[in-house]
Amino acid sequence: MNKPKFVLAIIFSCLAGLNAYAATDENRVYQDDDVYLRFIQLAPSQIGSFYEGREFNKDAVNLLMASCYVTVIVDNKSDDFLWIDIAKWKFKQGDKNIVQQDRKYWDKQWDKINLKQAHRSTFNWTLMPAERNLYPEEGVGGRIPIPMQSKPFTVVLNFPTGENKQGKMKTVRIDNVVCKQDEKN
């Protein structure tokens, strides 16, 4: 087994609170010759439990549980650089664009409740890097927060390629992505 991918799988199994190798409805996979994508859907209670376990206060946990987290693991299977640039990733519901809740959005939320820097750092650690390159056979993963959605939506992932983003754009479209909801008893 490729050691970096194994380590990444272990990290994200802990991060997601799921078995890294489980095939469930919450785990959607896409792959082709250039890229491997794995989507992990987490319910609000799972998100809340994760952050409660890291001693986030109730106000922070409530804010976090009100959002949807599109958690993606990306592996570059190509022989070229693949760039993560989540500003180029589009979330759509029909003709409506869904705005990502970026780090600036969350900084404003944290300022309102005076969240400690240690917790801000922990939260940022769980997010997908806003921009970075992936060497061939390299992977990365993280969460992309969006407002909670009650209906399925589409994610269009645009990956610039080449050492300086000068290559062809790699585009992957994933339809019927959902914000997992807590089960009602």
Say how far apart CA 33 and CA 87 lie, in whole Å. Answer: 24
Residue 185, domain member (yes or no): no
Residue 50, domain member (yes or no): yes
Say how far apart CA 88 and CA 158 lie, in whole Å. Answer: 6
Say how far apart CA 19 and CA 129 lie, in whole Å. Answer: 23
Residue 93, domain member (yes or no): no
Each residue's pLDDT tens digit in the chain (185 positions)? 454 554 344 334 444 433 333 334 456 899 999 999 999 999 999 999 999 999 999 999 999 999 999 999 999 999 999 999 999 999 999 999 999 999 999 999 999 999 999 999 999 999 999 999 999 999 999 999 999 999 999 999 999 999 999 999 999 999 999 999 998 76
Residue 84, domain member (yes or no): no
Residue 138, domain member (yes or no): yes
Please count the structural domains in the chain: 1
Q: Which two tokens stand for residue 3?
A: 């050691």
Question: What pTM value is reported for the model?
Answer: 0.83
How far the first Cα of the chain sits from its last, in Å, is 41
Helix (H, G, I), strand (E, B) or coil at 31: strand
